[in-house]
Structure 1
Amino acid sequence: MSASAALVSTPSTTASEAPSFEALAETHRHSLFKYAYRLCGDKQIAEDLVQDSLLRAWRSFARLQNPAAALGWMKTIVRRENARRFERIQPRESAMPTEELPAQAAQDYDTSTDAFVLRRALRALPAEYREPLILQVLHGYSQQEIAARLGLTGAGAGTRLFRARQKLRAALGERG
């Protein structure tokens, strides 16, 4: 029997008999922390994610229909809080253009073989795929921000990002 199921007495549980938010939070706090830590890799950030997520869960607790599903529900909130962490970071404009860089500049910047191969594969992508990928990966733009910046729909930006990654994987796969 899961911890959530143990907190739920019977199918005839009334609202007054339902587990309290505090009981669910304490039961799942450790699992949520482990999950948050796997997402971010930093103890302090994981603790903050759990705190923010529990606050958000507490505000929405009345909407939880099945207390036995509380852990999955709370993990979803942790995952979304982690994503919000990146949305809060304002993308910084770079002086570096997203157009094609000369091969020599890429070599001077970083001489490691993997980085060189990756840069060459990025330069080989058609501009329509390279630009959204660079905006997302290097500049931290969300899919919607990319769409607005490039005059695309959200779905169009998503399609270009998907195809860019496909083409990049194929190009890197051919080279080892």
Structure 2
Amino acid sequence: MATHELPPFAEIARAHLDRLYGFCVRLTSDPSDAEDLVQETLLRAMRAYGGLREPSRAKGWLFTIATNAWRDLARARGREVVTIPLNALDPDGDEFSLFQTIAIEDPFPYSDELHLDFLRLFRDDDIRAVFGSITPVFRMPLILTVVHGFSCKEAAAILEVPLGTLLSRLHRGRKQLERGLWDYAVSNGLVTTTDEERP
């Protein structure tokens, strides 16, 4: 049986540290907690480093360790990270559609690019605030696929869930993001609605 030679752990850690920290900030929504999570992740990774089979997959391996460490820390603090009520997306049971709402409300009457014009209203901090408000179990698939570019299959492996579960959570996360962006835009005066009631 051939043995594989791994580069030094510090080399792997250094190569992925910035992305790992960004991932942890998005998981925790707090830079200080993210630093603690990165530290815990690297400690666990260093202990398990001999088990890394393919150095080319180190990023996914580190993200899996970070996800598990985050779950453990959240449980230790008494936070529930897995149970999601069925009505968590929309208490009325109706799915919100940002694109349909923009088309109906028409906040940019002379625009040929309604959706892009809507997104241009937001600063980076606005989007981060909305992103941080998404239920964590739905936010994590978005972070992995949209922000870090993992495929759905890779994200499912990192989160240790079946692909169908990942796809469902990704869909619900996108819907929460859409709703959050619209609510943020209305409540901060970025757009005005045709009537007093929000969709």
- Shorter chain as denominator, the TM-score bin is 0.3 to 0.5
TM-score where L is the length of structure 1: 0.46
Higher normalized contact order (CA 8 Å, seq sep 6+, divided by chain length): 2
Larger Cα Rg: Structure 1 or Structure 2?
1
